[in-house]
């Protein structure tokens, strides 16, 4: 019988506890663990209010299932899932965070530069400096962990409401209005890859005004990506896949 990798076996149970327990860290009096009325045991993993798990489709686990990466008010930290010990990994404000489970590296953006930091040794290296890559979706790491990918707004543009009409963002409109306003801007976007070793950036698909979002590598095929056309559901063809050379878009 073929067994799933250890981190796949650990992930479902830990993820549920992590989401609830990280949220409870906002209450400094919260116990370390407790039993819910449903009978489920909940374990608090973090110590600082404001700590959080990564966005649900951003991998935060090592392949061995021994460490979970979280964000903290001071940066990034790992949780040893055997001892529950927290260890700081990266200091300062970062974004576009994802863990390479096999190489045990966290990839992230800080001040316009893409970095890799080893979760165990803390060895850090700059991969490439491209501030415009912060303007889209990412990062995602390929199955063989040789490439990163994401989307960005071409030409250095950022999402802004049109100056020709009253801003729909001026008075905290509902989510539907914000989504529609951003989609209507038709900003030029592209999908890109970054060679983890050399830092080479390649744009391989141009959206022609489509809002390219939620870029995700296949967990098994290092040349296939999934992404979405973001926007009002009735105005977009939502889910797409594509090869890293731009072929087989469908």
Kindly report which listed range (127-131, 176-180, 233-237) carries the lowest average pLDDT score. Answer: 176-180
What is the signed CA dihedral for 119, 125, 130, 133, rounded to 10 degrees?
Answer: -10
Greater model confidence, 170 or 172 = 172
Residue 30 pLDDT: 75
Residue 225: exposed, middle, or buried by beta-carbon count in 10 A (0-12, 13-18, 19+)?
Answer: buried
Average pLDDT estimate for 160-189: 67
Average pLDDT estimate for 155-184: 62
What are the tens digits of pLDDT across the range 15-60?
444 444 554 445 656 788 999 999 999 999 998 999 999 999 999 9
Residue 211 pLDDT: 97
**pLDDT band for position 208 (50/70/90)?**
very high
The average confidence (pLDDT) of the chain is 86
Task: Report CA 187 to chain centroid distance, whole Å.
Answer: 22
Q: Do the beta carbons of residue 97 and residue 105 sit within 8 Å?
A: no
Task: Report CA-CA distances (Å) from 103 to 16, 63, 161.
Answer: 25, 9, 41
Q: What are phi and psi of 179, to 5 degrees?
A: -60, -45
**pLDDT band for position 7 (50/70/90)?**
very low
What are the tens digits of pLDDT across the range 86-125?
999 999 999 999 999 999 999 999 999 999 999 999 999 9
Instruction: Report d(CA 91, CA 72) in Å as an integer.
Output: 9
Run of H or E including 215: strand 212-217
pTM for the full predicted model: 0.82
Residue 177 pLDDT: 84
Domain residue spans of the chain: 50-129, 132-250
Under CATH, which number does the domain 50-129 receive?
Answer: 2.40.10
Residue 12 pLDDT: 38
Residue 66 has pLDDT above 50, yes or no: yes
**pLDDT band for position 163 (50/70/90)?**
very low
């Amino acid at each position: 019988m073929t067994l799933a990798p250890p981190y796949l076996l650990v992930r479902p149970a830990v993820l549920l506890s992590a989401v609830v327990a990280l949220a409870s860290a906002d209450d400094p009096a919260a116990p370390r663990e407790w039993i819910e009325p449903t009978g489920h045991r909940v374990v608090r993993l973090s110590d600082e209010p404001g700590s959080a798990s990564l966005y649900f489709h951003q991998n935060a686990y090592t392949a061995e299932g021994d460490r979970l990466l979280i964000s903290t008010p001071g940066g990034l930290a790992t949780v040893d899932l055997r001892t529950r010990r927290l260890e700081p990994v990266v200091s300062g404000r970062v974004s576009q965070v994802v863990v390479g489970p096999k190489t045990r590296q966290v990839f992230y953006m800080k001040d316009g530069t893409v970095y890799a930091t080893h979760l165990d040794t803390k060895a850090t290296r700059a991969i490439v400096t491209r501030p415009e890559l912060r303007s889209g979706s990412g990062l995602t790491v390929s199955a063989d962990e040789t490439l990163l990918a994401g989307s960005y707004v071409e030409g250095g543009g950022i999402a802004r409401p049109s100056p020709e009409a009253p801003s729909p963002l001026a008075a905290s409109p509902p989510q539907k209005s914000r989504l529609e306003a951003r989609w209507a801007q038709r900003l030029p976007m592209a999908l890109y890859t970054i060679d983890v070793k050399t830092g080479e950036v390649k744009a391989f698909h141009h959206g022609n005004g489509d809002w390219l979002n939620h870029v995700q590598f296949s967990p098994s095929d290092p040349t296939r990506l999934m992404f979405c056309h973001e926007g009002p559901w009735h105005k977009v063809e939502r889910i797409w896949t594509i090869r890293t050379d731009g072929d087989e878009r469908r």
